[in-house]
Amino acid sequence: MTEMTEKEKASRGLLYNAYYDKELIDERAYCKALCYEYNQLHPAKIEERTALIQKLFGKIGGSFLIEPPFMCDYGYNIEIGSNFYANHNCIILDAAKVVFGDNVMIAPNCGFYTAGHPLDAERRNTGLEYAYPIKVGSNVWIGGNVVVLPGITIGDNAVIGAGSVVTKDIPPGVVAFGNPCRVTREIIDGDKKF
């Protein structure tokens, strides 16, 4: 039996070492270089910006706009649906898959973090971490300064209020906010007036 690479361990949700593994270090360096290039482009260079994101992401479903600055770790683990919008200062730590449905709107200063670390300091100090995927459904609006933690699923048609820390799955069709983020109510027909 051959030993798994650190990248294979990460893809299976096992503890892996991202700090000292050459393959992962090189992949992050490549990604950071593309993010740097993207973030330095003049705002009018839409085609160049689009081409860099297409080169970076694993899958793109259609039209999108990502306002710089934008940062991610690997890029190839990110999948976006059609009509995707991310405002300034979006950070996606994509050691595991991060999948967004269609018509997702993300306000400024949001973070999607698939990576976590052991609670035990001795293990954590060796560079071990884990990565659990994040899934955001279609027609989701995420308010400013939201943090989404590893392993979270946000259902279709949900709204996440500004400043929330999403620590548990959010069902479809609800408004949720807070730290930790909690469902406050369902979205109803009366909400169409806003």
Counting runs of H as helices and runs of E as strands, what totals does the chain give?
A: 4, 20
Distance separating alpha carbons of residues 138 and 28, to the nearest angstrom:
28
Which residues are 190's β-sheet partners? Answer: none
Q: Which long-range contacts (CB under 8 A, 24 or more apart) does 115-119 make?
A: 115/18, 115/73, 115/150, 116/149, 116/150, 118/15
Q: Find the catalytic residue in 7, 32, 88, 117.
A: 117
Determine whether 117 is an active site residue. Answer: yes
Residues designated as active site: 117
